[in-house]
Structure 1
Amino acid sequence: MKIPLDYICVKSGLLCNRCQSMIDRGEVESFEVEVMKILLDLEETQFKELKDTTYHKAFKLNNLLILIVTSGPSMTYQKWIKVAKILQDKLGVKVRILEKSNNIKSTASQLLTPARVLGVNTVWLPDGTVQYVVRVSKYEKKFLPADETSLEAALSKIHSIPVRIRVE
């Protein structure tokens, strides 16, 4: 698995100057080192398919951990579900693994599953900024994996642009 930190630093837990400076600058959060270590262990033991996968970022919000990855050709959705389940057991939080995408609708669909996304609206605010509104059916609100504010914060962090969830 391709990760932003050095393999040796993650495996040993002792960070070199470069890796420590990445954490100090906020490019990598300190909890991500543990996540990367578990993923590298899984690559060695159970999931050889993780070798061609790229780890981009992890976000932790309340009781939800969101991993942004790019899958290799042999990594299937079912295998990602198993990896998420193992991470959930080891870390004690809900885990969602998302494919990296610049499309907000694609990311929202992956994050909000099993609830369906009806659409994504672009709202142009008077000050010239843009905000996105992800629409979800009121009948599927109960299927959301977390509360709306956490999911809004997650989508906003992932895309670095304000995102709101509207239940209609």
Structure 2
Amino acid sequence: MVLPVCDVCLKSGMLCQGCENKLKSGEITQLDLDIAKLLYKLGEGKIGFKKTIEIDNVVIIVTEKDQVGKLIGKSGKIVRAISKKIGKKVRVMGEGSDFKEIANDIIAPARISGINIVYGRDGEEKYKIRVMKEDARKLPARLDVLNDIMDQLSSEKTVIVIDDL
């Protein structure tokens, strides 16, 4: 499976010149390296991911769509192990997911009551993602953090709000 660090580095515990250069240039982060080491131990080289995105106390792990289930693990076992190790909430996203899938995955276990396109006076389009009021306490992070995550994962401008209806 694809990991941001080569198997030799994961087995030996030391970075080769190529992986060291990736780390120095910012192509991979220390968080990518830490999660790759943990996944290599847990999945015996069968679980991988493309990259991580860290915003506030939430880490998003981006992987291939068909690998999302493997990365989460039975009953969320692998995600919980990663979360415990890094001390942050972990979300898993499939690379190439459409806008609605990204929104559902980021906001879960809260439910989306609707997604609308809102036009500003200057003609700017934004997607307004409405979360059911009774699910507000189920949101995995603050609204501003969730908005930042949506902006980074999708090419669309978004605003997440609690639906008062």
TM-score, L = length of structure 1:
0.79
Paired residues, number: 162
- Equivalence map 1:101-140=2 (5 Å): 101-123=96-118, 130-140=125-135
Of 147-156 and 123-132, the range deviating more from structure 2: 123-132
Residue deviations 1:104-155 (CA, integer Å, cap 9, x gap): 1101111111111123333455667643322212221111011111111112
Say if 2:62 is the partner of 1:81.
no
Q: Judging changes above 3 Å, is the alpha-carbon distance between structure 1 residues 117 and 41 closer, same or farther for their aligned structure 2 residues?
A: same
**Alignment CA distance shift 1:30-1:109 (3 Å):** same
Quote the RMSD (CA, aligned, Å): 2.8
Residue 143 (structure 2) pairs with residue 142 (structure 1): no
Distance of 2:96 and 2:51 partners within structure 1:
12
Structure 1 stretches lacking a partner, 5+ long = 45-49
TM-score of the aligned structures, taking structure 2 as reference length: 0.80
Structure 1 Cα separation of the partners of residues 10 and 150 of structure 2? 27
Higher alpha-carbon deviation: 86-95 or 153-162 = 153-162
SS of 2:49's equivalent in the other structure is strand
Please report how far the alpha carbon of residue 21 of structure 1 lies from its aligned counterpart in structure 2 after TM superposition: 3.4
Kept in 1: contact 2:4–2:36 (CA 8 A)? no
The CA deviation at 1:64 is 1.6
Residue 67 of structure 1 corresponds to 61
Counterpart CA distance in 2 for 1:73 and 1:96 is 10
Shift of 1:76: 8.5
Is the Cα–Cα contact under 8 Å of residues 101 and 107 in structure 1 kept in the other structure? no
Matches within 5 A, 1:28-67: 28-44=28-44, 51=46, 53-67=47-61
- Alignment CA distance shift 1:134-1:101 (3 Å): farther
Q: 1:90 is matched with which residue? A: 85
- Indicate the percent of aligned positions where both proteins have the same amino acid: 28
Partner AA of 1:85 in structure 2: R
- Offset from partner CA, 1:81-119 (integer Å, 9 cap, x none): 111111122222222222334311101111111111123
